[in-house]
Amino acid sequence: MPTPFELVFGVAVLVGLGVLFVFGRRLAGAFLRYRGTRVVVCPENREMVAVRVDAGHAALSAPQGRPELRLESCTRWPEKRGCGQECLGQIEAAPQACLLRNILGDWYQGKSCAFCGRSFHAIHWHDHAPGLVAPDGKIVAWDAFRAEQVLDVLATHKPVCWDCRVAESFRREHPELVTDRPRPLGPPPSMV
């Protein structure tokens, strides 16, 4: 039979673990929710800016209640470093919608590649990032743009899948090395 002390100690350990679990979940949840580059409208000049929330600070303040948001960086800094960070209201209202990765992912969804016509499904940004065709027909990768330009780019460019981006870029850079063969019939071998 456990002694009363052992019982109390056991209950205290369980309660402690429970509190740690709840706090840990809130902490990790806030960190994951607020990390990443976001595109918002700067309330001061009404132009798009790319910002990053201090996810570490949001996470550490999350267990006490609502996570406290503050900016870690903004494309208008350092000139506007002392701004009131009013754009945080947009992030608080819709943290996922202004996340750059989500904006781009949503844009590709339901569209088809301007070259091969295949539809986009899940995008693998780390190793098979799709690209774009500029209005002048040039193929460009996303790293050619700044995050705050993204909405303008989406309005003027067409989507290109990773396969075509790599193949077409190579074809344009080394036309002497490329021989065109007719495409095989049948369903495409893989989707982006």
Binding site for Zn ion (CB under 5 A): 113, 115-116, 161, 164
Measured from the CB atom, is 22 or 122 closer to Zn ion?
122
For the chain, give the number of residues: 192
CB of 170 to Zn ion, least distance (A): 14
Contacts of 139 (CB under 8 A, 6+ apart): 131, 132, 133, 160, 164, 165, 168, 169, 172
Nearest distance, CB of residue 188 and Zn ion, angstroms: 9
Q: How far is the CB of 68 from Zn ion (least distance, A)?
A: 44
Closest listed residue to residue 36, CA positions, set 62, 10, 73: 73
Q: Which of 73, 134, 72, 119 is nearest to 142 (CA)?
A: 134
Query: Shortest gap between Cβ of 16 and Zn ion (angstroms)?
Result: 55
CB 85: neighbour CB atoms within 10 A? 16
Nearest to 190 by CA among 113, 80, 110: 113
Nearer to Zn ion, 66 or 111 (CB): 111
Residue 26 vs 128, nearer CB to Zn ion: 128
Of the pair 60, 166, the CB lying nearest Zn ion is at 166
